Amino acid sequence: MVDITERFIKLQLEQSPESEVFLRGLIKKGIISRETIRNYVLVHQMDEYLKANKGHIGHTLMDLSDDFGITERMVRIIHKKYTRIF
C-alpha cells in the first residue's frame, strides 16, 4: 500500500506542490481511506497504461490488476464508477 500512497501523493504534488505534508497527515490519520487512494491512482494512471500497451485494453486491465492486487473485473468497475468523480 505504501507504493500506491506514494503514487497518490506524486499525482497530487503535480497539481499543488505545497500539499505534501497536508496529504500525508490525512492519510496517516485515516481521513482518506486506502480504497479512495487506490481508486484515484488507478483512474489517473489508466491512460498511461493504455499508451504503454498500445491501446490493448485486455493487457492494460491485466497490468493494472497485477499492480494494484485486484481482479480485472474490479479494475473495470472502479474505472467506470470513478472516472466521472476524479
Tens of pLDDT, residue by residue over 21-44, are 777 778 888 888 888 888 988 999
pTM: 0.72
Angle of helix 72-82 relative to helix 57-68, nearest 10 degrees? 100
Distance CA 7, CA 49 (A): 14
Q: In angstroms, rounded to a whole number, what is the distance separating the alpha carbons of residues 60 and 46?
A: 8
What is the share, in percent, of the chain residues with pLDDT greater than 90?
Answer: 45
Domain containing 62 equals: 2-82
Residue 17 to residue 2: CA distance in whole angstroms: 20
**pLDDT single digits (tens) 69-85:** 999 999 999 999 988 77
Q: Which residues contact 57 (CB under 8 A, 6 or more apart)?
A: 50
The yes-or-no verdict on residue 19 having pLDDT over 90 is no
Number of structural domains in the chain = 1
- Residue 4's pLDDT band (cuts 50, 70, 90): confident
